[in-house]
Amino acid sequence: MNDTTPRTAVRMTRQRAAVAGALGDTDEFCSAQQLHERLRTRGDAVGLATVYRTLQTMADSGDVDVLRGEDGENLYRRCERSEHHHHLVCRVCGRAVEIDGPSVEAWAASVGAAHGFADIDHTVELWGTCVQCRR
């Protein structure tokens, strides 16, 4: 009864390969609509809904990082490391650097506990303007 064979297979399709490829081409955070447009001009078009679904799936499985841009839209990026980390993001072009808040994790947990809060989660992101986007 403990069947280990995947009951829900995840299929590899042209669309998913295309989205993954587009994400792999850049180290910038970009939105679903940006990716959709990029794929369209590139030649292998993918439906917008599919882009959203694919990104959501990849985010759920940890294949991409998601963060909410300052204007409210979700931005996606395939990061180098898979462990928990934070980002320093250019608010103009989306270029990002992976950083780790040294003591942030422990600090968040202790502050939360000190005030009787449980299931502490934290958001730590840095925004700036990178050298290329200056001037």
The site for a second copy, by CB under 8 A, has a size of: 32
Tell which one of 62, 72, 102, 116 touches DNA (CB under 7 A).
Answer: 72
Does position 46 interact with DNA (CB under 7 A)? The reply is: yes
Please enumerate in sequence order all residues whose Cβ is within 8 A of that of 92, keeping only pairs 6 or more positions apart, or say none.
129, 130, 133
Question: Do 96 and 87 form a contact (C-beta atoms < 8 A)?
Answer: yes
13 contact choice in a second copy, DNA, Zn ion, none (CB below 5 to 8 Å, kind-dependent): DNA
Nearer to DNA, 51 or 80 (CB): 51
Contact string (CB under 8 A) for a second copy, positions 92-121, x = contact: -----x-x-xx-x--xx--xx--xxxxxxx
Answer yes or no whether residue 26 interacts with DNA by CB under 7 A.
Answer: no
Closest by alpha carbon to 44, among 22, 64, 59? 22
Which two tokens mark 93? 């072009």
- Residue 9 lies near DNA (rule: CB under 7 A): yes
Q: Which does 20 bind (CB under 5 to 8 A by kind): DNA, Zn ion, a second copy, none?
A: none
Residue 18: CB partners within 8 Å, gap ≥ 6?
39, 44, 46
Which has the closest alpha carbon to 73: 126, 29, 132?
29
